[in-house]
Amino acid sequence: MLSPVESKAKGRTVRSLNKGRGASAVEFALILPLLVILIFGIIEFSLALYDKAMITNASREGARSGIVYRLPPVGDGEIISVVNSYLGNYLITFGGSPIATVTVSRNGSSPGGQLRVRVAYRYTFLVLPSFISTLAGGIDLVGETVMRME
């Protein structure tokens, strides 16, 4: 049997543990929104980096299709079509169609001349659009490739 002093001490220990559980719940409730925003921010910027890589790849695909020797030569419209097709297949937009600005410029049309393909895309936030777009509005992503004509 416990003495009255020991039972009081034991009762205090039990009560202080219950108080600690309540404090933990309050702390968790305060930290949870920050953790959720952090996790979704990581996902959002990962998607933006992926889209940046796909825009760079699209500019490479367009430049490669334009430098290959062919009669008649490849026109700017066909290069833009290749870039838009690549973006339509690989860019993550969650159902929206990618709207990119494609600029094709040439420095000579004979072998050895340069072909420059520049793709500009406005990345709008997908996961947290209403929260982040009020803060940042979006990110301008640009991919540019310069290749020599064959």
Strand order in the sheet with 100-107: 100-107, 114-123, 139-148
What is the tens place of the pLDDT at every residue in 99-120? 899 999 999 877 888 999 999 9
Bridge partners, residue 142, by sequence: 120
What is the tens place of the pLDDT at every residue in 40-55? 889 888 999 999 999 9
| pLDDT bucket at 20, cuts 50 / 70 / 90 | low
With a pLDDT cut of 90, the percent of the chain lying above it is: 47
Residue 24 belongs to some domain of the structure: no
Residue 119 belongs to some domain of the structure: yes
Number of structural domains in the chain: 1
Residue 21 belongs to some domain of the structure: no
pTM of the model as a whole:
0.76
Asked, as a colleague might, if the bond just before 98 is cis with ω within 30 of 0, I would say no
Residue 78 belongs to some domain of the structure: yes
Domain limits for position 89: 43-148
| pLDDT bucket at 73, cuts 50 / 70 / 90 | confident
